[in-house]
Amino acid sequence: MNFSEAANTGLFFQLAPLLVFLPLTGMLINMIFGGKMSEKAVGTVASLASGSAFVVSVLLAYSLNAVHGELHTIPFAEWIHIGTLQLDWTFRVDSLSTVMMLVVSGVGTLIHIYAIGYMHEDVRFKDDIKRFRRFFVFLNLFIAMMMILVSGDSYLMLFVGWEGVGLCSFLLIGFWYDFDTLGQKSTANAEAGKKAFIANRVGDFGFLLAIFTTFWHFGSLQFDSVFEAATAHPDPVVISAITLFMLIGVTGKSAQVPLYIWLPDAMAGPTPVSALIHAATMVTAGVYLVVRSAPLYSLVHSASYIVAMIGAVTALFAATIAVGQYDIKKVLAYSTISQLGFMVAAVGMGAYVAGIFHLATHAFFKALLFLSAGSIILGMERGHHHLAHGHGDHDDADAHHDEEVFDPGDMRNMGNLRKQMPITFWLYMAGTLALAGIFPFAGFWSKDEILLDAKLHAEHFPGVYWLLSLAAFMTAFYMGRQIWMVFFGKERTEVAKHAEESPPVMTVPLMVLAVLAVFGGALNLPFDGFHNLGHWLEYTIGHVEGLPLDLGVAGISTVLALLAIFFSWLLYGKNPLKEGQPDPLKKPLGFLFTGMENKWFVDEGYKALVITPFEKLAKFLSIDLDWNFWHDWFHDSVLYAGFKWLAKFLSEPVDMGIINAIADKLAEWTQRSSESLRRMQNGFVRSYALSVLLGVVTILGYLLFK
Amino acid sequence: MDFELLPNLVTFFPLVGVLILFFIKPDNKVLVRWVALATSLATFGISLVLLQNFDASNPALQMVTNLPWITVANWNISYYMGVDGLSILLILLTTFLTPIALLSTWSAIEEREKDFNIFFLMLEVGMLGVFMAQDLFLFYVYWEFTLVPMYFLIGIWGGPERIYASIKFFLYTMAGSLLMLLAILWLGINQGTFAVPDLIALGGIPAGIQTWLFLAFAIAFAIKVPMWPLHSWLPDAHVQAPTAGSVILAGVLLKMGTYGFVRFNLPLFPEAAVKFAPIMAGLAVVGIIYGAIVSYYQRDIKKLVAYSSISHLGFVMLGLFALNSQGIQGGILQMINHGLSTGALFLLVGMIYEQTHTRDFDVYGGLWKIMPVYGTIMLVVTLSSMGLPGLNGFVGEFTILLGAFGSEAIGSAWYAGLSAIGVILAAIYMLYMYQKIFLGPEGSIVETVKEHGHALRDLSVREIITITPLLVFIFWIGLYPKPFFALIAPTVDNLVAVLQAAMH
Amino acid sequence: MNLTQADFYTLLPVMVLTVWAVALLLVDLFIPKERKGWTAFLAVAGLALTIGFSLSQIGQESSGFFEMVVLDGFSTFVNILLLVSGLMGISLAYSYLKRMGIERGEYYSLMLFSIAGMMLMAQASDLIVVFLALELLSIPLYVLAAFAHPQHDSGEAGIKYFLLGAFSGGFVVYGIALVFGATQSTALAGIAAAALAGTANIPLMLAGSALILVGFSFKVAAVPFHMWTPDVYQGAPTPVTAFMAAGAKIAGFAALMRVFSTAFPSLAVDLAPVLAVLAALTMIVGNVVAVSQTNIKRMLAYSSIAHAGYILMAFVAFGNPAVSATAIAAGIFYLVAYALTNFGSWSIVIALEKEDGKGLELEDYAGLGKSNPLMAAAMTIFMLSLTGIPPTLGLVGKFYLFSAVIAADMYWLAIVGVLTSLISAFYYLRVVVIMYMKDGEPKTLSEPWLNLTWIAMAAITVILGFMPASLFNWASQAIMKLF
Amino acid sequence: MTVDLILFLILAAVAIATALGMLLSRNAVYSALFLVLNFATVAVFYLLLGAPFIALTQVTVYAGAIMVLFLFVIMLLGTEELPKGEGLNWQKPMAVILAVVLMVEATFLIFVQEPVADLISNSPSADFGGPRAIGELLFSRYLLPFEVTSILLLVAMVGAIVLTLNKKEGGQK
Amino acid sequence: MVPVNYYIALSAILFIIGAMGVLVRRNALIIFMSVELMLNAANVALVAFSSANNSLDGQIFVFFIMTVAAAEVAVGLALIVAIFRSKNSINVDEINMLKG
């Protein structure tokens, strides 16, 4: 049997489980044997594991093509079977999932390779060589989890991967858990990881509710049966509920308003992580989920509109913040949020192809940007080390700690890096232009498609177009700002002067990505006879009208982008920033810029509105209610002391006590009897006799007068 | 061999060890340890034979021993032991956790080891008896009997506040069980038998009386579980108990409460169970949220884990009172899961405590770097406790929430919806704990330990051996829970049928 | 007057014991002072002999002395129980008296007399005999309570017991007078017959029965007639306390059972609530007050009050034929359980008591778990049994009792019983806590008879805890004659 | 009002007065003497009620022997009067209250509820209550109680000896 | 003829006075005497009933009560004497070492 035969008969579909198990194998190998392997070997194993998954993805895509996109499900294992609840682990190979697989494993592999170089240096700067291996273990685990996410055939499997990638995200953000982003000893990175996990969990909570609602109304969690049942009995309330619950999940995972707050902090992770997880793959899972649930979303317009608006608002909101950031990665992070907003807006409007298209191109150019930023930061670090130690002596840990804090990611410390890091510069430029949406870079095509969709559907989704256009403008502006600040002007620090270019192991994958960023638009060119991605996805989401290029929209957006870059040149390029000079925007924008700089105080708002009240509540519940009230007061004081009191009261015989009280009141002997009270303990025969007589009188009284 | 007698053998086999221990000199610590461990391992072995002979497809009681015991006047008390789907997993959990807990004591318990082991094995007898007794009186005997050794375990080998904690533990539990005793007596006298299967078959208890009986049983079990707001004894008992005691307390003893619900409350008083389902579910939800929030604010590791138990067992209760098969099966599986995860957590906390002698969060930090194996294992267990998919906790929580969400008896999805918040909160407090201990820069404890002349070390081989079996099951149940559900399913389906009948 | 064989047979054990006691008084004169142990052995022999006679009477029924006394299953059961209690009482006293320097032969004679009085009480079927038996059991106890005088507070115990005993005796006498006036009879059967025939003055009879109840309640230490108990139990020599706590209680309850179920069944409707309230009060006060005690003798005294309350629960059903038989059987069973556990715990108290009267505080038990694990284990068993925790006789006893109360639909009483049991756990556990969880070096006395007592009692408590059926069957057959 | 009744009332007044005298006398000797008087008065009642034997016993045993013993002890101990003590202030009022309640109950019992047969029957036979009738009964029907009493007296004797002898030997050995 | 009620009433009064004595006096001897008065009151009732019922049982009972009283007196006085010897008092309020 030759290759094409195997493809045609669907034999390759049986390979689907390998998508998950190859990365897992890599992970296990590194986990178990990695300790004795060299860094290169570890990196190679991990990259191979990821790469082989890419190969499998390609094979699957090829086979799928050969069978004309016919959906294939590959049952793998029974998971939970209770009554009508039938949950299996089944792989789903369709045109949508293969796109995701390709993007994930493809970009993933490149980043693995890049990371070999990056982490080699990073662990040395941070003085913990042993952690090199751990990074690749986590990275492989991430690929496996992401594969589960995109290849699952039911909402639950999707959820499994969904949570799994959340875990990896947590682990990788907190990879340098004993530092902060500046390399100082701190819990900051760990906190960032925790924040990401928890914000994601909030989203997962919504997702879970969506799953429950789905199950109890449609009796299944398998995609096709759910869609079938939903279209058969389209109950708008139920479907709205499901889709909106799901939306909570999407906002969490894809960093949309209001749950996006974790993503900027997630930049605490090593740069490859930011590129892979927090730009290219994991964060797009929400987009994938919406596309996957397209049959549901298309049934309820109001829910779709909410999705679209959330996306659009996020796109603009995050873009404004990006304008005010100084950290090179933070700018990219907010840019990512913004771009995710584009995608979410697109899929919300039903422009699934556009959304996925942008997802793919964004994966390329944003990964490129992040990795280049990583390269820049490392370059700065190298310069920094060069200055600090003369000969780059990494082992002198003590000296390391005593240094003044230096932030290698702060753009204000850079300037004119074009000279020191020419390769990186050109790569970065490619990414920037793609992101800014300049013709003919990849971003241009995908963003334009989204804008076009928004324009076309403006009557159903009012406002989306304008928000997105504005966001696109801002995007070009802040990218321009970044370029001018980083690569042009004068070096603002000594370090910048000594920055060094990165080795090929890092730059080569970047080049591949750069190529993709430049030509990625070819995936779905808006001309008749192309629309390749659209046609490919038709197998899964049904027929989509391939939109032609709308010169109006494209023109406006291009003009806007160029204008933005021009403005940025005016502000940052023409008169380069001096050392210690405040941002030129600060003056004209005033408090607005303060807001942008400070991320609109959202974190502070969360702290004031959510975290502090929660901590107060927790404190109240645990210290006041549970411990002081419930444990100490109720148990010890009320139960125990009350009981003791009763015992004491009764042991100074109860009748005596009562009599005593009555007598005291009646005769006002209180003062005089204080002495006798003391003596009125027990031990008096006569009192005992009194008790007996009291008993007699009571019993007789009861019997006679009852 | 007559397999019908296996339940008795499993239950009483630890007594063999007790007998041997009586004749060993207390000074011979090594022998004491090995005898106890060997006994508990043998018991586990026998329980595996029991499992092998257990017909999972048969929903009825199996391997029954039913002998008249006290038949005087109008009391028909029998020695009635048997195993079915409701109990088989818990029996295995008990026999499984006991050797692990015993192994963990080898370095933790230093004085009166012989007594410790004797009490521990006796406790195992009591626990196994609870899960196998099918006669109410017999059940009560075992139930109360477990109090005694646990009381000693906490009171003699516990922390500084051990006496307070042990008495509180004893009194709380006894308070509930005495009311249960009255209910048992009512049933036994008015129905003419104490045998649970016969009582179920007889049925016909008027709904009004069912309410009272249900309450009497429920209070006893709810204290044991413990359901909010009857949980006040738990933090004390857990914090003060020695590690092995905490493991068994969290792993098995608390399950006696939830088991009691599913074994007695549901089938004996189905109408009342249906009636009370929303209330019980409501309390469970409060427990889930409350336990989680309170956990978050703890500064003592053990206390945090203790409070988290309140939250976790809230899930179990929610599942049981969903009164549908997803909920109940999930609930039962979650009992096992909680036993494994929380048992493992307590073991791990104990291991670090042995080195540092403190459980105060504030002095910890950055241990992952120093103790990578420990950190990794703890991470897995923490995640299991949080209910991460792929690990055991998720399977239980998911099925429970799913069951509760659509439960006809509870009647509203709100309960499950609110409980799902518990999933978020679990992440918050568990990660908080993990971060405090393992992440961030090195805490002051590293220096403190160094000052005492020895550095922190990673887990020893014995410790890894102790914890590994738990990890295996954490993954196994998480990835492939089918065999576990298969054991429970037929019996639960029967139970659900009874409850469905009561509902309509 | 013609005494028949039946007369003698009916009262054979009592007579044998009385004669033996009188003889012992004489023999004792010839036993040298340093050999008073012989008197103890002789007393034991007398008790053993009497037990033999009693055993031979199992299943026999007769009456004698113009139906003043009867012999039936009930009386035989109680007699044996009393005689065994006597045996244990002597085994406790044997070394104690020597140690405390109060060893005198009269001790044993007085004990035998008291036992004879108790047995007579169980057999009496005429109020006159009941009264005399009550005095016969009480007077030696007054003396025994003060036996260690002037050591410690023995004298005080004696005089308190005496004055209050006489006081309550006055009520019994007046009660009997009223009953006699109401029914023209003092025979139990005659009283019941008069009530049945309608010739009786019911209010007078009711008042009389209430006064008689007061007398018995005093003897069994029911609230509010209990107040002598802690003082007397604390002050009296410990073996006397142990004997009193068991014997007097058994006899008091035996008489209560016989008199009330034979003579006053017609008054049950009126008296049952009184009994129920008494039982509840007794359980509450006994248990609650016990909590704040620090002296073990006092604590056990309150515990004994509390247990009187439990046993009283068995009577609330009296007069209701459907349930009273099992209820009273449960009461008797509980008596046995209580007596056995009681002797066990007191013997350990004796083992720790010092010559100077020290060693009686709870704190003195600290560390017993380490220094004498076996004894601590036995004590733990006794405490568990008194609390009603398996695997002990106490649980079975409570189980029977509560089920009887529930069968009588007295749920509130059952709940009071249950809640007070919970309270009792608190102070019983404290003993265990102190023994095992506190440090100390208590010195214990190792004396064969004493050791035998607590070891045997611990064993029996556990064994009967597992196999209570035969004992219960015997108890329920025994009470059949009463109905 | 018959003579009997008048006699009864007078005697009753005396009996109550002497009883109160015993109760209220500060001096123990007076108390004892009042009690003797009371016993004597009661003996007259016994005669009135047709119980001559009991009346005689009352005078000889009770008033004579027992009360003399009391007097002996009072004199022996020299405790005619106790020093005024404080303490238990509430005991007296409570006792009075209880006594009043008890009185009410007794009245209710005796006069209100189903009153006891109104009249004392005339002595049916001359010998009713005489030594002979009593003696015959004692040695037939009441043989057992009689014997028990003898044992009781023996026990009391032994007890009294034990209690006092103990002291004489110095208590401690 | 005097109604038996009157006798019973008298006996009740005496009984109550006796009981009062136990309750209010502090001298052990007087307390003891009060107990004797109580017994005596019971005797009056018994004899009265005996006469009313025309049955000698009551009188016999009185006889026994007297004997028992004698026995009690023997023991009681011995106890009082013994206590007096060690405490030098027969004030019952002072005999209260045991309490609580």
Please report, for the domain that includes residue D60, its CATH number. 1.20.120.1200
Do the chains B and E touch each other, judged by at least 3 C-beta pairs below 8 angstroms?
Answer: no
Q: How far is E5 from chain A (nearest CA, A)?
A: 17
E-strand ranges in A330-468 read none
Answer whether B443 touches A (CB < 8 Å): no
Q: Collect all residues of chain D within an 8 Å Cβ-Cβ radius of residue E91.
A: 82, 85
Q: Which of B163, B238, B402 to mutate against chain A (most A CBs within 10 Å)? A: B402
> For residue D118, what pLDDT band results from cuts at 50, 70 and 90?
low
Q: Collect all residues of chain C within an 8 Å Cβ-Cβ radius of residue B74.
A: 326, 407
- pLDDT, one tens digit per residue, over C70-118 is 998 889 999 999 999 999 999 999 888 888 888 888 899 999 999 999 9
ipTM for the predicted complex = 0.87
> For residue D124, what pLDDT band results from cuts at 50, 70 and 90?
low
Q: Which residues, in sequence order, are CB contacts of A111 under 8 Å at separation 6+?
A: A139, A272, A275, A276, A280, A367, A371, A509
Domain boundaries, chain A: 300-391+408-597, 604-692
Do the chains B and A touch each other, judged by at least 3 C-beta pairs below 8 angstroms?
Answer: yes
- Closest residue by Cα to residue C66 from D143, D136, E53: D143
Q: Average the pLDDT over each of A40-49, A558-567, B449-458, C243-252 and give the range with the smallest value.
A: B449-458
- Whether C446 shows a pLDDT value over 70: the answer reads yes
- pLDDT, one tens digit per residue, over E39-96 is 999 999 999 888 887 888 888 999 999 999 999 999 999 998 888 888 887 777 777 6
Q: Output the average pLDDT for chain B.
A: 89
Q: What is the pLDDT of residue A397?
A: 44
Name the amino acid, one letter, at B129.
Answer: G
- The encoded tokens of residue D8 equal 């009864």
C–E: how many Cβ contacts below 8 A? 132
> For residue A662, what pLDDT band results from cuts at 50, 70 and 90?
very low
Answer whether D22 touches E (CB < 8 Å): yes
Helix (H, G, I), strand (E, B) or coil at C367: coil
Span B238-258, mean pLDDT? 91
CB atoms near residue A565 (< 10 Å): 22
How many angstroms separate the Cα of A500 from the Cα of each of A380, A383, A397, A421?
7, 6, 22, 6
CB contact under 8 A, C218 and A692: yes
CA distance B167 to C380: 14
- Whether B494 shows a pLDDT value over 50: the answer reads yes
CB contact under 8 A, A689 and C289: no
> For residue A671, what pLDDT band results from cuts at 50, 70 and 90?
very low
Fold of E4-95: Helix Hairpins (1.10.287)
Q: Which residue has the higher pLDDT, D63 or A681?
A: D63
> For residue C380, what pLDDT band results from cuts at 50, 70 and 90?
very high
> For residue A26, what pLDDT band results from cuts at 50, 70 and 90?
very high
By Cβ distance, the residue of E49, E64, E71 closest to C139 is E71
CB contact under 8 A, E61 and C160: no
CA distance A660 to D91: 10
Looking at chain C from residue 48 to 107, which residues have their Cβ under 8 Å from any Cβ of chain E? Answer: none
> For residue A393, what pLDDT band results from cuts at 50, 70 and 90?
very low
Give the DSSP per-residue string, C384-430. Answer: HHHHT-SSSHHHHHHHHHHHHHHHTT-HHHHHHHHHHHHHHHHHHHH
- pLDDT, one tens digit per residue, over A85-100 is 888 889 998 888 888 9
- The encoded tokens of residue A194 equal 């925790």
Q: What is the pLDDT of residue A418?
A: 84
- Whether C283 shows a pLDDT value over 70: the answer reads yes
Q: Collect all residues of chain C within an 8 Å Cβ-Cβ radius of residue E79.
A: 142-143, 146, 155, 158-159, 162
Q: Rg of chain C's alpha carbons, rounded to an integer?
A: 21
CB contact under 8 A, D102 and A672: no
- pLDDT, one tens digit per residue, over D138-164 is 888 898 999 999 999 999 999 998 888
By Cβ distance, the residue of C160, C171, C273 closest to A696 is C171
Do the chains C and D touch each other, judged by at least 3 C-beta pairs below 8 angstroms?
Answer: yes
Q: Collect all residues of chain B within an 8 Å Cβ-Cβ radius of residue C426.
A: 167, 171
> For residue C13, what pLDDT band results from cuts at 50, 70 and 90?
very high
Q: Buried b / exposed e across C183-200, counting CB within 10 Å, b at 16+?
A: bbbbbbebbbebbeeeeb
Q: How far is B329 from chain A (nearest CA, A)?
A: 8
Q: What is the pLDDT of residue A677?
A: 32
Angle at A397 between CA A392 and CA A398, to 5 degrees: 120
Q: What is the pLDDT of residue D171?
A: 42
Q: Which of A130, A171, A177, A632 to mutate against chain B (most B CBs within 10 Å)? A: A177
Q: Which of C167, C225, C227, C299 to mutate against chain A (most A CBs within 10 Å)? A: C227
**Quick one: what percent of chain B has pLDDT higher than 90?**
42
- The encoded tokens of residue A517 equal 């960023």
Q: What is the pLDDT of residue B296?
A: 85
CB of C173 within 8 A of CB of E42?
A: yes
- pLDDT, one tens digit per residue, over C129-140 is 999 999 999 999
Q: What is the pLDDT of residue D167?
A: 45
- Whether B473 shows a pLDDT value over 60: the answer reads yes
Question: Tokens 């009311």 identify what position?
Answer: B179
> For residue A658, what pLDDT band results from cuts at 50, 70 and 90?
very low
Q: What is the pLDDT of residue A402?
A: 45
- pLDDT, one tens digit per residue, over A231-257 is 888 888 899 999 999 999 999 898 888
Residue A384, phi-psi category: left (phi > 0), alpha (psi -120 to 50), beta (remainder): alpha
Q: Which residues, in sequence order, are CB contacts of B326 under 8 Å at separation 6+?
A: A82, A83, A85, B319, B399, B400, B402, B403, B406
Domain boundaries, chain B: 269-504
Q: Average the pLDDT over each of A209-213, A277-281, B450-454, D122-126 and give the range with the smallest value.
A: D122-126
Helical axes D67-77 vs E28-53, angle rounded to 10°: 170
- Whether A400 shows a pLDDT value over 50: the answer reads no
CB of A374 within 8 A of CB of A433?
A: no
Q: What is the pLDDT of residue D114?
A: 63
CB contact under 8 A, E100 and A681: yes
> For residue A655, what pLDDT band results from cuts at 50, 70 and 90?
very low
Partners of B70 in the β-ladder: B77
- For residue D57, what are the domain limits? 1-83
Q: Output the average pLDDT for chain A.
A: 82
- pLDDT, one tens digit per residue, over D54-73 is 999 899 888 888 888 888 88
Span A458-479, mean pLDDT? 88
Q: What is the pLDDT of residue A665?
A: 41
Q: What is the pLDDT of residue D17?
A: 94
CB contact under 8 A, A215 and B398: no
DSSP state of B359: -
DSSP state of B440: S
D–E: how many Cβ contacts below 8 A? 239
> For residue A535, what pLDDT band results from cuts at 50, 70 and 90?
confident
CA distance A267 to A311: 21
How many angstroms separate the Cα of A352 from the Cα of each of A100, A257, A289?
13, 20, 11
Span B126-151, mean pLDDT? 92
- pLDDT, one tens digit per residue, over C122-177 is 999 999 999 999 999 999 999 999 988 777 678 888 998 999 999 999 999 999 99
- The encoded tokens of residue A67 equal 């069978």
Query: Quick check: is D71 in a domain?
Result: yes
> For residue A679, what pLDDT band results from cuts at 50, 70 and 90?
very low
- pLDDT, one tens digit per residue, over C363-375 is 899 888 888 889 9
Q: What is the pLDDT of residue C224?
A: 84
CB of C250 within 8 A of CB of C472?
A: no
Number of domains in chain D: 1
Q: Which residue has the higher pLDDT, A391 or B70?
A: B70
CB of A405 within 8 A of CB of A432?
A: no
- pLDDT, one tens digit per residue, over B207-247 is 888 999 999 999 999 999 888 778 888 888 888 889 899 99
